[in-house]
Chain A
Amino acid sequence: AQRVTQPEKLLSVFKGAPVELKCNYSYSGSPELFWYVQYSRQRLQLLLRHISRESIKGFTADLNKGETSFHLKKPFAQEEDSAMYYCALVTGGTSYGKLTFGQGTILTVHP
């Protein structure tokens, strides 16, 4: 069965410091991984997907199949990055698949 693990429940950094939110997965198929974010008083929303290899709000994430990881990184954290971050794995295909979420990491960026 698939599994997504985010080992850090809470992560605190100071503004301008680098930040890395860890995500590891377990899946027998070809993994498709995503990061979702929930800012205070906002809805959970898609932040980025591994297949696009894009940078969103300064965040990037690289899929490392050897280490079965998909860590989210940003070189210089901003206060507005404070939020709950979920790593997610999609299984079952594009149309009828489902998302399996990690436990979530609450990121706090201090001024």
Chain B
Amino acid sequence: DTAVSQTPKYLVTQMGNDKSIKCEQNLGHDTMYWYKQDSKKFLKIMFSYNNKELIINETVPNRFSPKSPDKAHLNLHINSLELGDSAVYFCASSLVAYEQYFGPGTRLTVT
């Protein structure tokens, strides 16, 4: 009965590879988000989708592409991975913007 789930939990890959992180929520929320938490624990929004429509797109390299097949899922695809992409990526969902429910995070390590 997990509310917001992410897979995989850990992802280790080499520079130049393409990888995807999946997120699913069973809360019936309309809005989903992707955040990046860097090594200093700074948490910054990347994207937000509302009912499968992109509504927030922060200054993120084009190598990052979110995809929302339905409002319960928001996946993050990353092309040509770089060392600087190493971080913890959090998915979240909400009914209202201020009360977001976060997933457990995916720790991405690029070597």
Contacts and interface: CB of A to CB of B under 8 A. Distances in A.
How would you classify the secondary structure of chain B's contact residues: helix, strand, loop or mixed? Answer: strand
Contact of B97 (A44, A96, A104): A96
B12 interface: no
A3 interface: no
Interface in A53-111: 84, 86, 88, 90, 92-101, 103-104, 106
Majority SS at the chain A contact face: strand
How many chain B residues sit at the interface, stated as a range, is 20 to 34
A43 B102 contact: yes
Interface residues of A, number: 24
A20 interface: no
Interface of A: 32, 34, 43-46, 49, 84, 86, 88, 90, 92-101, 103-104, 106
A96 B98 contact: no
